[in-house]
Amino acid sequence: MSQPMNITALSIGGALIASLALAQGDPLAGAVAARHAHMDLYAFNLGVLGGMAQGAVAYDAGAATAAADNLVALASINQTNYWLPGTESGAVEGSRTKVELWSAMDDLTARQAALVDAAAAMQAGAGTDLVSLQAAMGPLGSACGACHMAYRVPN
Amino acid sequence: MSQPMNITALSIGGALIASLALAQGDPLAGAVAARHAHMDLYAFNLGVLGGMAQGAVAYDAGAATAAADNLVALASINQTNYWLPGTESGAVEGSRTKVELWSAMDDLTARQAALVDAAAAMQAGAGTDLVSLQAAMGPLGSACGACHMAYRVPN
């Protein structure tokens, strides 16, 4: 089975079809799309927590814990294949990433580690009570914003 | 801090702003958007593996392992908040989910567990060699397709 595998086997899942388009069609656009999808999932899970923190949604320890668990899982995702050189703002439609990011990988790694820490703190607090959830929200927002402010072109 | 927290603290990260829109604007549309983002990330990581499996991209044990690790992490994400009742095809724009899904949660759980198993098998094979990666690709595609065929409206 060292020859290219039968495409039929790959086409069972619609996701696979899309994935092959991403991988083989335009890798740079695919990488930017993956970044946006990843950010959307951060946003969705943060939204669950933010809605509770603001009092717009009733506190629910189980839902809050699930959202916090998911943030930790998302923050642990290996993003090497997302941040391809040549995908900065202006080079790929929809990208808002400053080109400076690619010469600041050590700083990016440190900020990513800070996000993991903030998500872990939320994971510890989210299921405890609303006050603990609220206390973890600010540092989590700051950890998100630290990368955005440094490496994202303002709207 | 039991009163609604200061919105300024939440607005540091752009993602948080989007998240609050998702959570407070239209929860059903937000849930569908989160599902699509999640599927996009499956697709992206599958694309890395599929490109290698097909011979379109040179086999790279590190990149393949990262993609497989990510699939396991994504499959472990708690999706309870994504699959809200009332988000079936026809009820929310862009949704292709059959309404039957909401009366088949045990089956869905089983299919999800099968996906985790298939992703774990890919995780075991992806870093070994191309033949092992290719061998894990079919079952992984089948696990994706099992849910799509049962619970997704055809295009």
> What's the complex ipTM?
0.76
Q: Which residues of B touch A31 (CB under 8 A)?
A: 44
Residue A80's pLDDT band (boundaries 50, 70, 90)? confident
Task: Name the nearest CA neighbour of B41 among B85, B10, B77, B1.
Answer: B77
Name chain B contacts of A63, Cβ cutoff 8 Å.
Answer: 80-81
- Any idea what the CATH number is for the domain that residue B76 is in? 1.20.120.10
Which residue shows structure tokens 């050189």? A85
pLDDT, tens digit, for every residue of B39-64?
999 999 999 999 999 999 999 999 99
Q: What pTM, to 2 d.p., does this model score?
A: 0.81
Q: How many domains does chain A have?
A: 1
**pLDDT for B84-138, tens place per residue?**
999 999 999 999 999 999 999 999 999 999 999 999 999 999 999 999 999 999 9
∠B101-B102-B107 over CA atoms, to 5°? 55
The CB-side HSE value for A116 (13 A sphere, CA atoms) comes to 11
Q: Which residues of A100-125 are buried (b: 16+ CB within 10 A; e: fewer)?
A: ebbeeeeebeebbebbeebbebbbeb
* Partner-chain contact B40 A39, CB within 8 Å: no
> Mean per-residue pLDDT for A112-122?
96
Q: Write out the residue range of the structural domain in which residue B52 sits.
A: 3-151
Q: What is the pLDDT of residue A155?
A: 84
Partners of B141 on chain A (C-beta within 8 Å) are 9-13, 16
Query: Is A55 within 8 Å of B3 when comparing Cβ atoms?
Result: yes
Torsion A36-A125-A120-B112 (CA) sign = negative
pLDDT tens for each residue of B11-43: 333 444 444 445 446 889 999 999 999 999 999
Q: Is the minimum CB–CB distance between B13 and chain A shorter than 8 Å? A: yes
Closest CA to B140 of B66, B42, B5: B42
Question: Residue B68: closest CA among chain A residues belongs to which residue?
Answer: A78
CB atoms under 10 Å from CB of B34, counted, come to: 26
| Chain-chain contact of A13 with B145 (C-beta, under 8 angstroms) | yes
